[in-house]
């Protein structure tokens, strides 16, 4: 068993940290979908928008999953909006095009995504098709060498500033469920597209997209007509899989530049909340021995929860590096599910520790602890257990694939 | 980094598994509940023959992670025995430079040694120890005091007793033969069905040579003792895994309303939460064992592991019992062994508040340092 980082991994961590300390947008709103083009292109300039792209599209070998997890640990700790690097539909669209797109589509999208020239959005969910995505009703009808799309989509994050839109529609009107679906690339600037804002309780906006006789050339069909479900499944469940192979490893020892992970792991955005809460209590003279003991106990419990989550993330990443080396990160692992619940628990505990000041959300508010971060987290917690699929669906998928229980949905 | 077993550890685990599959069943474990001794001397002899006790000595080339692998497997197979406490005592002896047996041991004896640390009262810590070593009238020393929840004392041949040496009252560790005059052993009849005894030492006469090492060595031994109690975490991780495996099997095969129980989402959620908690407990346990094995200060990691395993083992065995419906409520069900043992965590792994105090102080200390550094900067 090896609980060390190599010298190269430690150097990578410090490179990421140094970059973020210099370039992360100061005083930007905390919304997950906040997008800063200037910062985004700096990330692109480093090649960090494509950390998990295969070499053939990236031009250089991808980061290992452990390196990617280190990147996200530092990125999270900087409290920079994740919309740039993780939840962004751009990542998922890029991976879909790499796997299913034509050479022409790949040429059209991938270099521009890698350079940060534009972002993409995804149009799968509909008003009446959420977790049960196979019940979608948007139609795509053949008209010569074009398809004509009609329907309504919701939860298309970043569609209001994205260029390309990956849309799922029903090409066979007589089909039901997952048969007869197809996936298209749609230019969001073309006629027939109306993007309406959905203003979020958590701050920022999401989008509903109306498609009214939108004409798409057949060359923009992704994959095969009627086989869209395979493409969609890959995108939604890209996140899961890998053979359950155990490859024994040499015992890791401290020395020769290798250092214990516990001395370097930061716990991402949640780890920083704990560090800042500890400093806040200490600065206010609340110590762990007196009346502050229950508060510090709560914090100590969170510290343990964040530590075990981080161990899980690096464990899963190191396993994935062995099981499917060179393939993209998969998000639908247990670490993803664990983080979503932990986010809300940390927010609630921070609120209880801080009291009313936790609700202050202006960074400039002199009385706002933790730069107003907790106020935003309290509003964002319900997003966490829904975005990208509800927690229940995620757990059903894990119960089926990791515990070997029967399909229950 | 790679958090997987090494090739040697995989072989080690396979060897223990083969030994247990040939020599131990859960039915035997269940039968022990009514057994006055509470463990199988025959199996214990086989485990000793497998050189497990020797692995506890630093020179053996094994470390705490290797032993955790062994003990997790024992826990999985519901091997209830003094082994963990014996291993902890062996490691404490090594720390005190006294790993050779203190006296002649009968050839058929198991030579079990256990530590007697805890005293009556609300919490246990070395600061609160009052057992006393004082000069005896006819030369040598006498030991007076009471230790509670001494593991497997009824089966031990020797105790390592934490006591204060007159006149300075510095902490010392002293080796006491279990059969010495003045030693009174009373089993604790208890809800967990684990085997503990209260042990009274009433003017027990000892040679000065029974005192192992000086005050510094005793303090170091106390730290080693606390760290090596991690092996109880490994035992519980193995036990919880067995409970999970049994329950997954039940959910896959038991049908109600025309479908397997595992097809009901409410049961899937409960099961997945238990499995994820167990993953965390295992990761924290091996991480802490690894930090100890590296010779680094591991107080924080050990505290996290003990706190998490204590809570998780109870949650998992309780949850798995519940998911079996009424099946697992009887002693005849294998799960009963694992469930009942969850009650003992408060003794073997300590008071949860103690671990939270330790973690809280660590966080506070770091925050004080960071604020001071920021102030200077």
Chain B hits for A293, Cβ within 8 Å: 357, 360
- Write the pLDDT tens digit of every residue in A43-55: 999 999 999 899 9
Any CB–CB contact under 8 A between B272 and chain A? yes
Chain A hits for B4, Cβ within 8 Å: 1, 246-249, 318-319, 322
Radius of gyration for chain A, computed over Cα atoms and rounded to the nearest angstrom: 22
Quick one: how far is CA A335 from the chain centroid? 12
The answer, yes or no, to whether residue B99 has pLDDT greater than 90, is no
Residue of A5, A132, A288 to mutate, testing the B interface (most B Cβ within 10 Å of its Cβ): A288
Separation CA A254–CA A248 (nearest Å): 19
Catalytic residue of the set A74, A238, A239, A361: A239
Q: What is the pLDDT of residue B286?
A: 97
Q: Is B170 left (phi over 0), alpha (psi -120 to 50) or beta?
A: beta
Q: Kind of pairing, strands B211-212 and B170-177?
A: antiparallel
Q: Is the four-CA dihedral B28, B29, B30, B34 of positive or negative sign?
A: positive
- Write the pLDDT tens digit of every residue in B210-239: 999 999 999 999 999 999 999 999 999 999
- Write the pLDDT tens digit of every residue in A118-154: 999 999 999 998 888 889 999 999 999 999 999 999 9
- Write the pLDDT tens digit of every residue in B2-19: 668 889 999 999 999 999
Q: What is the pLDDT of residue B327?
A: 86
**Mean pLDDT, all residues of chain B:** 93
Q: A237: which 2 tokens? A: 């469940």
Any CB–CB contact under 8 A between B365 and chain A? no
Report whether A408 contacts A396 (CB < 8 A). yes
Report whether B162 contacts B200 (CB < 8 A). no
Q: Any residues with CB less than 8 A from the CB of A198 and at least 6 apart, and which?
A: A154, A155, A205, A206, A207, A208
Cα nearest neighbour of A250 on chain B: B6
Q: Taking residues B198-220, report their average pLDDT.
A: 95
- Write the pLDDT tens digit of every residue in B261-299: 999 999 999 999 999 999 999 999 999 999 999 999 999
Q: What is the pLDDT of residue A238?
A: 45
Cα nearest neighbour of B284 on chain A: A308
Separation CA B209–CA B140 (nearest Å): 9
Chain A hits for B302, Cβ within 8 Å: none
Q: What is the pLDDT of residue B105?
A: 56
Any CB–CB contact under 8 A between B284 and chain A? yes
Chain B hits for A4, Cβ within 8 Å: 1
Interfacial B residues in 289-328 facing A (CB < 8 Å): 290-291, 294, 296, 301, 304, 307-308
Q: A374: which 2 tokens? A: 């907790």
Residue B30 Cα distances to B77, B78, B79, B330, angstroms: 11, 9, 10, 11
Q: What is the pLDDT of residue B352?
A: 87
Residue A402 Cα distances to A244, A311, A407, B341, angstroms: 10, 19, 12, 27
Whether the bond between A163 and the residue before it is cis, its omega within 30 degrees of 0, is no
Length of chain B measured in residues: 377
Q: A23: which 2 tokens? A: 């370039």
Find residue B170's DSSP bridge partners: B165
Q: How many CB pairs under 8 A join A and B?
A: 181
Report whether B114 contacts B160 (CB < 8 A). yes
Q: Kind of pairing, strands B211-212 and A139-143?
A: unpaired
Report whether B225 contacts B350 (CB < 8 A). no
- Whether B276 sits inside 8 A of A338 (CB atoms) is yes
Q: B357: which 2 tokens? A: 């105090």
Q: Kind of pairing, strands B259-260 and B255-256?
A: antiparallel
Question: What is the b/e burial string over B312-327, where b = at least 16 CB atoms within 10 angstroms of the residue's CB?
Answer: bbbbbbebbbebbeee
- Of the candidates B263, B275, B290, the beta carbon closest to that of A403 is on B275
- Whether A297 sits inside 8 A of B265 (CB atoms) is no
pTM of the predicted model, to two decimals?
0.94
Q: Which tops the pLDDT comparison, A290 or A328?
A: A290
Environment class of residue B205 by beta-carbon count within 10 Å: exposed (0-12), middle (13-18) or buried (19+)? middle
Residue B240 Cα distances to A164, B15, B107, B151, B286, angstroms: 49, 21, 36, 21, 15
Report whether A396 contacts A131 (CB < 8 A). no
Active site residue A239: yes
Residue listed under structure tokens 């290798």:
A258
Question: For A167, phi and psi rounded to 5 degrees?
Answer: -115, 135
Q: For A82-230, where are the E strands, in sequence order? A: 120-123, 139-143, 146-154, 164-170, 181-187, 193-199, 205-217, 221-222
Q: A35: which 2 tokens? A: 């997008």
Residue A341 Cα distances to A212, A301, A373, B117, angstroms: 38, 15, 17, 40
Any CB–CB contact under 8 A between B3 and chain A? yes
Residue B183 Cα distances to B103, B147, B179, B277, angstroms: 17, 11, 7, 42
Return the percentage of chain A with pLDDT > 90, whole number: 66
Q: B266: which 2 tokens? A: 């409410």
Q: What is the pLDDT of residue A88?
A: 67
Report whether A149 contacts A136 (CB < 8 A). no
The answer, yes or no, to whether residue A239 has pLDDT greater than 50, is no
Q: Which tops the pLDDT comparison, A391 or B17?
A: B17
Any idea what DSSP says for residue A129? B
The answer, yes or no, to whether residue B256 has pLDDT greater than 50, is yes
Separation CA B86–CA B110 (nearest Å): 10
CA-closest candidate to residue B326, choices B263, B256, B275, B277? B256
Q: B86: which 2 tokens? A: 């014996």
- Of the candidates A249, A278, A338, the beta carbon closest to that of B4 is on A249
Residue A367 Cα distances to A281, A287, A358, A371, A372, angstroms: 14, 20, 9, 9, 9
Any idea what DSSP says for residue A2? B
Q: B230: which 2 tokens? A: 């991690």
Q: Taking residues B192-213, report their average pLDDT.
A: 94
Q: Taking residues B19-29, report their average pLDDT.
A: 95
The answer, yes or no, to whether residue B257 has pLDDT greater than 60, is yes
Find residue A102's DSSP bridge partners: none
Find residue A260's DSSP bridge partners: A4
DSSP letters, B144-188, are EEEEEEEETGGG-SEEEEEEEETTTTEEEEEEEETTSTTEEEEE-
Residue listed under structure tokens 């452990």:
A66
The 10 Å Cβ neighbour count of residue B49 is: 10
Q: A143: which 2 tokens? A: 């008209």
Cα nearest neighbour of B268 on chain A: A399
Any idea what DSSP says for residue B137? T
Confidence of residue A236 (pLDDT cuts 50, 70, 90): low
Query: What is the separation, in whole angstroms, between the first and last Cα of chain B?
Result: 34
Q: Any residues with CB less than 8 A from the CB of B29 and at least 6 apart, and which?
A: B77, B78, B79, B80, B334, B337
Report whether A121 contacts A165 (CB < 8 A). yes
Q: Kind of pairing, strands A205-217 and A181-187?
A: unpaired
- Write the pLDDT tens digit of every residue in B40-97: 999 999 999 999 999 998 888 889 999 999 999 999 999 999 999 999 999 999 999 8
- Rounded to a whole number of angstroms, the distance from the CA of A180 to the nearest CA of chain B is 28
- Of the candidates B4, B281, B359, the beta carbon closest to that of A246 is on B4
Q: Any residues with CB less than 8 A from the CB of B315 and at least 6 apart, and which?
A: B274, B277
- Of the candidates A275, A311, A408, the beta carbon closest to that of B287 is on A311
Question: For B215, phi and psi rounded to 5 degrees?
Answer: -65, -40
- H-helix or E-strand spanning residue B113: strand B113-116
- Whether A403 sits inside 8 A of B356 (CB atoms) is no
- Whether A246 sits inside 8 A of B5 (CB atoms) is yes
Separation CA B370–CA A277 (nearest Å): 13
CA-closest candidate to residue B309, choices B348, B337, B273, B271? B348
Q: Is A281 left (phi over 0), alpha (psi -120 to 50) or beta?
A: alpha
Q: Taking residues B141-150, report their average pLDDT.
A: 97
Separation CA B44–CA B68 (nearest Å): 17
Q: Is A370 left (phi over 0), alpha (psi -120 to 50) or beta?
A: left
Q: What is the pLDDT of residue A7?
A: 95
Q: A190: which 2 tokens? A: 């073309």
Report whether A381 contacts A347 (CB < 8 A). yes
């Amino acid at each position: 068993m090896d609980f060390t980082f190599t010298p190269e991994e430690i150097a990578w961590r410090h490179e990421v940290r140094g970059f973020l300390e210099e370039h992360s947008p100061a005083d930007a709103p905390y919304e997950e979908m906040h997008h800063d083009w200037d910062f985004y292109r700096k990330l692109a300039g480093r090649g960090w928008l494509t950390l998990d792209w295969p070499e053939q599209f990236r031009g250089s070998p991808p980061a290992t999953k452990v390196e990617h997890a280190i990147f996200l640990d530092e990125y999270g700790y900087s409290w920079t909006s994740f919309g740039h690097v993780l939840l962004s539909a751009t990542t998922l669209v890029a991976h879909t095009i790499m796997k299913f797109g034509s050479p022409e589509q790949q040429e059209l999208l991938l270099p521009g995504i890698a350079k940060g020239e534009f972002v993409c959005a995804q149009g799968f969910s509909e008003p009446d098709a959420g977790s049960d995505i196979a019940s979608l009703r948007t139609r795509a009808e053949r008209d010569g060498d074009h398809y004509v799309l009609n329907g309504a989509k919701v939860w298309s994050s970043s569609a209001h500033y994205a260029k390309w839109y990956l849309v799922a529609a029903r090409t066979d009107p007589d089909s039901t469920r997952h048969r007869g679906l197809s996936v298209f690339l749609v230019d969001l600037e073309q006629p027939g597209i109306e993007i309406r804002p959905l203003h979020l309780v958590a701050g920022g906006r999401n989008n509903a997209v109306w498609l009214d006789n939108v004409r798409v050339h057949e060359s923009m069909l992704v994959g095969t007509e009627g086989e869209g479900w395979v493409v969609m499944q890959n995108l939604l469940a890209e996140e899961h899989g890998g053979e359950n192979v155990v490859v024994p490893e040499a015992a890791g020892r401290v020395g020769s530049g290798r250092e214990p992970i516990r001395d370097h792991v930061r716990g991402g955005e949640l780890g920083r909340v704990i560090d800042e809460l500890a400093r806040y209590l200490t600065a206010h003279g609340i110590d762990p021995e007196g009346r502050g003991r229950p508060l510090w106990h709560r914090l100590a419990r969170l510290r343990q929860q964040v530590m075990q989550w981080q161990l899980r993330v690096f464990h899963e990443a190191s396993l994935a590096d062995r099981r499917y080396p060179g393939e993209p990160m998969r998000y639908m692992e247990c670490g993803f599910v664990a983080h979503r619940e932990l986010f809300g628990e940390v927010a609630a505990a921070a609120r209880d520790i801080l009291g009313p000041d936790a609700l202050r959300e202006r960074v400039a508010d002199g009385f706002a602890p933790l730069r107003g971060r907790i106020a935003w987290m309290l509003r964002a917690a319900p997003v966490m257990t829904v975005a990208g699929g509800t927690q229940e669906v995620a757990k059903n998928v894990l119960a089926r694939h990791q515990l070997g229980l029967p399909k229950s949905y | 980094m790679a958090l997987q077993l090494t090739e040697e550890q995989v072989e080690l685990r396979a060897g223990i598994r083969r030994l247990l599959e040939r020599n131990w069943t859960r039915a035997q474990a269940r039968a022990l509940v009514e057994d006055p001794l509470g463990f199988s001397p025959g199996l214990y002899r086989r485990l000793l023959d497998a050189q497990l006790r020797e692995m506890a000595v630093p020179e053996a080339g094994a470390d705490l992670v290797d032993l955790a692998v062994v003990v997790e497997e024992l826990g999985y197979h519901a091997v209830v025995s003094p082994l963990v406490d014996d291993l902890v005592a062996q490691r404490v002896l090594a720390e005190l430079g006294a790993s050779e047996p203190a006296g002649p041991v009968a050839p058929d004896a198991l030579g079990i040694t256990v530590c007697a640390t805890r005293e009556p009262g609300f919490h246990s810590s070395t600061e609160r120890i009052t057992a006393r070593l004082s000069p005896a009238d006819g030369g040598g020393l006498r030991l007076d005091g009471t230790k509670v929840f001494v593991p497997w004392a009824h089966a031990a041949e020797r105790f390592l007793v934490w006591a204060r040496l007159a006149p300075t009252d510095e902490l010392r560790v002293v080796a006491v033969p279990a059969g010495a005059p003045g030693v009174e052993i009373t089993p604790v009849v208890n809800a967990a069905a684990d085997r503990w005894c209260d042990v009274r030492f009433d003017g027990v006469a000892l040679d000065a040579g029974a005192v192992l090492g000086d005050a510094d060595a005793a303090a170091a031994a106390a730290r080693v003792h606390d760290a090596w109690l991690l092996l109880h975490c490994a035992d519980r991780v193995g036990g919880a895994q067995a409970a999970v495996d049994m329950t997954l099997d039940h959910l896959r095969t038991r049908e109600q309303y025309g479908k397997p129980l595992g097809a009901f989402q409410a049961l899937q959620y409960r099961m997945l939460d238990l499995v994820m908690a167990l993953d965390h407990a295992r990761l924290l346990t091996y991480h802490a064992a690894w930090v100890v094995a590296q010779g680094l200060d591991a107080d924080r990691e050990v505290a996290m592991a003990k706190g998490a395993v204590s809570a998780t083992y109870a949650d998992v065995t309780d949850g798995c019992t519940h998911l079996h419906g009424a099946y697992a409520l009887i002693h005849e069900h294998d799960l009963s062994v694992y469930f009942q043992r969850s009650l003992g965590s408060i003794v073997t792994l300590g008071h949860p508040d103690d671990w939270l105090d330790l973690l809280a102080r660590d966080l506070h200390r770091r925050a004080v340092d960071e604020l001071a550094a920021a102030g200077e900067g």
